Structure 1
Amino acid sequence: MFSINKKLFSQKRNINILLKDNTILLQKRLFSKNLRLKNTTQYRKPEFSTEPPKYDANDNRRRLKQMLTFGACALIGYTISANYSFMDLITIYTSSNNSQDAKDYKIKLQAKLIHLPIVKQLSKTGFVEIIGDKTDASNGYDLLNELGGVAIPPKSYYNPQTKKLVDIVHIGMKLQGYPFMLHGGVSSDIISQFMIKSLKFDDNGAEVKNYQLRDLKVDYKAPVFVNKFIVLRLTNVERIGKTLAKCNVEVYSENGKNLLMKGKGKFAITKNKK
């Protein structure tokens, strides 16, 4: 009996070993087969058709992008052509300050300045136009006084009640930094010159003083485009003794509504030596 059980146990053990070996062999075969399939490149026979091509969603998006790009370029071109005529560009870059074309261009700018809506608004709110010279207060911007810069004298307005000064200045094509936008350094120069002009106008005229810029901070609120008028408003003047003065200025677009820049300046005051 013991011998029979021993034979059955040995047979069962042999069967388990065979099954285990077969399973391992089968796994190896499957692995090698999958490896061969991965390394095998399958070629698909090209299909030819006479039907018109079908456009998917990607093609429609590409067409939409092309249309939007074309529309944007057309809008930019229209804006440039509406604000920068070809003859104006030729006059600015090829003519001298004393040529007839330059004179006609300045007359055109002066006529446009007179008809700005902000001119009527200032007259209705108590501002009076400054005519003549008061310690060079109605001049200024000498560094930029050329064709394509500040080509025409600015219009200056003063409110006797609030003691606030306003300048309307035309900035030309030659003052651009990035295309069609006012250069940052030039904008700082315009603001500082307006501050000096305001401080001189605020003097009582008893003695002539010099103002030397010590510190200037300009806060840019929006892009400033060239070949446009800008409105500079004096907001506050603070005098610290007899040697220092502070001045705050705001710069608006030609309609007087859109704030473009804010400036804060500090000046040292010196008396002219006789």
Structure 2
Amino acid sequence: MNSYYTKSITNLARRGGASALKGCKKELRPQFREYGTRSDLDSPFDHLPKRNKSWFNWKVSSVFLAFGAFMAYNETLFDYYEKFTDSGILDELLPVKLEYEMKNLPIYQKLAFSKSGDKWVKLNSWENLDRNVLDSTNEALKTKTQEEYKAPSLHTHTLAKPGGILVKPAIFHNIETDEGVSIIHVGHRLCGYPFIVHGGIIATILNETFKRNASLSSKMSSNLKDDYKVENLTISYKFPSFANQFLIVKTRRKEGANDDDKFITLESVVESQKGQVLVKSEALLHDTGRATKRAKKSSWLPF
């Protein structure tokens, strides 16, 4: 390098590094950039833009800190939420109101009063149902009397209270396509976060829906719900499921690689009563025959 440029660059570095380049001649800048000469005093932080205002505001931060501490110890919001969702005093007309609201849903009206060509059949409860109810023969309709239908379950006993699943879900099944639609009301007691139904409750509803639709499917031989075991369950939560509304669970069969007379693959979509997609799910179910074995074993008991 030319000694003239070397001395000039050295003097510029001593005077302030890169900041001194602003006042140097234009002919010196290309040489300095080409060889990338820096001195020990030239800091990369000198090139950062300077902030005129501080990013931290003590006044605003102090106000929010005091407000957060007050709400944490006072629990005013939680008290209001508890009063709003209190179901201790049951309104005797609440089940009637919910039944009326459910029967006036557009999807209920569409399936309950479907066209003559649509093979939709309405079922009244989760339990005590079998495919005999769906038979179009003239034989007398029969229902199962096994012990599995008599024992209290999570959804027919524990959750069947104000704030839970107060009214019996309405279930529609299509005889020809094996599609199913369940309409279920979820209350505030089923929430994890305030006003949002717990993900475990959604999984329970899907688990019961899958097993019920498998037992009603014309492809499967067993019509007992507890014969079926959910081998694999995949749930994708698309949007929060808010409480105190009706959830619409639409289920249909999906072709699976492992499907045979003992396995079936089903998929479900959970929608709000306004039609918004909340959850998508898929399950592989296995007909274990455990309920059938228990029923046969109990029928041979001498007492």
Under a length normalisation based on structure 2, what TM-score does the superposition of the two structures give? 0.53
Equivalent in the alignment of 1:186: 201
- 2:178/2:218 contact within 8 Å kept: no
- 2:164/2:188 contact within 8 Å kept: yes
Residue 204 (structure 1) shift: 7.2
Query: Partner of 1:163: helix, strand, or coil?
Result: coil
Equivalent in the alignment of 1:218: 235
Q: Alignment length, in residue pairs? A: 184
- The whole-number CA distance in structure 1 between the counterparts of 2:100 and 2:232 is 36
Q: 1:208 to 1:160 in 2, by over 3 A?
A: closer
- The whole-number CA distance in structure 2 between the counterparts of 1:207 and 1:169 is 25
Q: 1:144 to 1:215 in 2, by over 3 A?
A: farther
Query: Partner of 2:265: helix, strand, or coil?
Result: strand
Question: Percentage identity across aligned positions?
Answer: 23
Q: In structure 2, what residue type is equivalent to 1:154?
A: P
- The whole-number CA distance in structure 2 between the counterparts of 1:237 and 1:134 is 23
Q: Which has the higher helix share?
A: 1
Q: In structure 2, what residue type is equivalent to 1:188?
A: A
- 1:199/1:237 contact within 8 Å kept: no
1:131-210 correspondence to structure 2 within 5 Å: 131=124, 133-135=128-130, 141-142=155-156, 144-203=159-218, 207-209=222-224, 210=227
Equivalent in the alignment of 2:252: 235
1:1-274 correspondence to structure 2 within 5 Å: 89-90=85-86, 92=87, 94-95=88-89, 101-122=90-111, 123-124=113-114, 126=118, 127-131=120-124, 133-135=128-130, 141-142=155-156, 144-203=159-218, 207-209=222-224, 210-238=227-255, 240-255=259-274, 257-271=275-289, 272-273=292-293, 274=296
Query: Partner of 1:240: helix, strand, or coil?
Result: coil
Residue 110 (structure 1) shift: 0.8
Residue 120 (structure 1) shift: 2.1
Q: 1:222 to 1:156 in 2, by over 3 A?
A: same
- The whole-number CA distance in structure 2 between the counterparts of 1:161 and 1:259 is 25
Q: Which has the higher strand share?
A: 1
Larger radius of gyration: 1
Deviations 1:204-232 (A, max 9, x none): 79644401122111111111100000101
- The whole-number CA distance in structure 1 between the counterparts of 2:175 and 2:221 is 19
Residue 157 (structure 1) shift: 1.5
- The whole-number CA distance in structure 1 between the counterparts of 2:262 and 2:251 is 20
Structure 1: 4+ residue segments shifted above 6 A: 136-140
- 2:165/2:185 contact within 8 Å kept: yes
Under a length normalisation based on structure 1, what TM-score does the superposition of the two structures give? 0.58
Residue 160 (structure 1) shift: 3.1
- 2:214/2:220 contact within 8 Å kept: no
- 2:186/2:245 contact within 8 Å kept: yes
Q: Which runs of 5+ in 2 are unaligned?
A: 1-59, 61-79, 135-148, 297-303
- The whole-number CA distance in structure 2 between the counterparts of 1:185 and 1:104 is 29
- The whole-number CA distance in structure 1 between the counterparts of 2:107 and 2:265 is 27
Residue 106 (structure 1) shift: 1.2
- The CA RMSD measured in Å over matched residues stands at 3.3
- The whole-number CA distance in structure 2 between the counterparts of 1:230 and 1:158 is 16
- 2:124/2:168 contact within 8 Å kept: no
- The whole-number CA distance in structure 1 between the counterparts of 2:287 and 2:221 is 14
Residue 117 (structure 1) shift: 2.0
